[in-house]
Amino acid sequence: MHSYHQLTETQLKWLQEQQLWVDRELELLEPSPTEAQKANPRWATEAAMDNINWEVYVVFQGKLESLAYDFKIPRAAVPNVKACWDARRCRVGKGMPINFSSSNGFF
């Protein structure tokens, strides 16, 4: 089923700002391997960081969706933080994160 929701200028501007915010935050959460080594050579294990970042992803997505609801923006128009996270990981050569959804049944 298709939804043809006409976004207002304010809604569109908000969505664009949120996409930029997600991208900036993911750059901090998923630095390239060389950036991570420069920042802290004793960084947590990759699996531990995936777990932390998964929790952050859930919070980010929930925040975006609740704010979008307040702006009367359809959920389908909200940036998909998991897709952005996966794309960031691929760009920095890390591959896909651990799939937590199959183990806990919540997502």
Q: What residues have CB less than 8 Å from 50, skipping those under 6 apart?
A: 97, 98
Q: Are 43 and 36 in contact (CB under 8 A)?
A: yes
- pLDDT score recorded for residue 43: 53
- pLDDT score recorded for residue 70: 94
pLDDT band (50, 70, 90) for residue 99:
low
Query: What pTM, to 2 d.p., does this model score?
Result: 0.71
53 against 107, higher pLDDT: 53
Boundaries of every domain in the chain: 9-32+45-96
The pLDDT tens digits of the residues spanning 3-33 come to: 677 899 999 999 999 999 999 988 888 877 7
